[in-house]
Structure 1
Amino acid sequence: MQRHAWGRSPAGLATEAAVTGAVACVVDVRCTPERLTPGFEHHLSRRSLGVVYALFAVGLAAGAWASRPGVGR
């Protein structure tokens, strides 16, 4: 069953986006073989990578919030 952001609270969307960002970070940093990565981890500090994934989560939450029916239409 597909879930939609419709009717979700901002806190719920933020939580789901944060979990998705954390999972993406773990998969990208720990699970992906080195030969398949673009090498960003060699040029950015761990803190900078954390900021990148945090901003990814913010973007997910903002996109879900903005895609609700009746918003901006």
Structure 2
Amino acid sequence: MNSWKIRFLGVGLMVLGGFLFVWSVRDITSEWPQIFVGLLSVFSTSMGFGLLIMPLDDMAEVESKNNTETKNNP
């Protein structure tokens, strides 16, 4: 998966989390569904933020590092 796809997925999850939070506070009147949707919104937002700040290495850099390590350590 390309790094920009992962970043857009993170932004999408954060937007989804915000939408779920507003929906759970404004429209859901029952207690337990409101709790579960609220928790889902927090989980979605935190996963999206985690994807945004996650350091990504290029696959070429990772492969070259692995190749040099295996050549140096027979």
Q: TM-score, normalised by structure 2?
A: 0.42
Between 1 and 2, higher relative CO (CA 8 Å, sep ≥ 6) is seen in: 1
Q: TM-score, normalised by structure 1?
A: 0.42
More helix by share: 2
